[in-house]
Structures are given as C-alpha cells and as structure tokens.
C-alpha cells in the first residue's frame, strides 16, 4: 500500500515561498496516478491546490493563480510544492495525496485514495 509523508519547514515568512516535499513509498511516482496537494486552513474545509502526472502538464487551482509550482523528482520518488508570495491566508495544514482513476460501471472517476498525515505551515514574521 502506498504511503506518503510531507516534509518541510513549519514556518514561512510573509512574501516568501512555501516549499514542501512529499515522499512516496510502497509505489512508484511514475505509475499511472496523479499526485496532488490539498490544504486545510485552521478550522476550515479542504482546498485543492494542484496536481501533476509523470506524463503531462500540471493542473493548478485557478484561485491560486500562478503562485503554485508542483514538480516530480523521479529518482527520489517524491514530488514537491512551491507556493510563492505567501501571506497569513496561506497558513494551513498541507496534505499530499494520490489521485487514482477508479472504474464505476462504464465510467472512470478520479478520487484521492491515499493521503499523507499532513503538515502545518504557518506564515508569520
């Protein structure tokens, strides 16, 4: 069973860049899956940030505009998130997850089947 673990600093200064890595074990990052980031502000709901497949271009949440960069590191079997120009509003628990394509009747549906435990990132000076 695939396992994911988020790594990175828990404190980032305003206007800086948030950088997180998700280490994947028990499965290959080059498999036919998408790799994604989701965040959850304190006491709030879930917000999808973006995703990347080992073949193809990334998809990002338009609400975050061009601040998001997601990349894969195949030799290390991990993927990363960079979020630039952060403000206090970016303070959240950040989760990495795997997106898989499941089959339901004649349809293909995507869902998030494996998650990291999450890491709290605080934006503060």
Partner 1 sequence: DIQMTQSPSSLSASVGDRVTITCRASQNINTYLNWYQQKPGKAPNLLIYAASYLQSGVPSRFSGSGSGTDFTLTISSLQPEDFAAYYCQQSYSTPPYTFGQGTKLEI
In angstroms, give the least distance from the CB of 62 to partner 1: 7
Selected from 25, 31, 71, 117, the binder of partner 1 by CB under 8 A is 117
For residues 20 and 12, the answer to whether their CB atoms sit within 8 Å is: no
Q: What is the DSSP letter of 75?
A: T
Question: Closest CB to partner 1 among 60 and 80?
Answer: 60
* Cα-Cα-Cα-Cα dihedral sign, residues 87, 93, 98, 103: negative
| 76 vs 110, beta carbon nearer partner 1 | 110
Number of chain positions touching partner 1 (CB under 8 A):
26
Place of tokens 């600093």: 9
Site for partner 1 in 28-87 (CB under 8 A): 45-48, 50-51, 59-63
Nearer Cβ to partner 1 (13/111): 111
In 3D space, the residue among 89, 85, 56, 86 whose CA is nearest the CA of residue 71 turns out to be 56
């Amino acid at each position: 069973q695939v396992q994911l673990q988020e790594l990175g600093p828990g404190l980032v200064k305003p206007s800086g860049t948030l950088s997180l890595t998700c280490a994947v074990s028990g499965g290959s990052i080059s498999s036919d899956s998408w790799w994604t980031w989701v965040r959850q502000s304190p006491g709030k709901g879930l917000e999808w940030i973006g995703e990347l497949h080992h073949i193809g271009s990334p998809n990002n949440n338009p609400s975050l505009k061009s601040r998001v960069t997601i990349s894969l590191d195949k030799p290390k079997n991990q993927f990363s998130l960079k979020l630039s120009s952060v403000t206090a509003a970016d303070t959240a628990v950040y989760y990495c997850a795997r997106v898989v394509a499941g089959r339901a009747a004649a349809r293909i549906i995507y869902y998030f089947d494996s998650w990291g435990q999450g890491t709290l990132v605080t934006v503060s000076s």
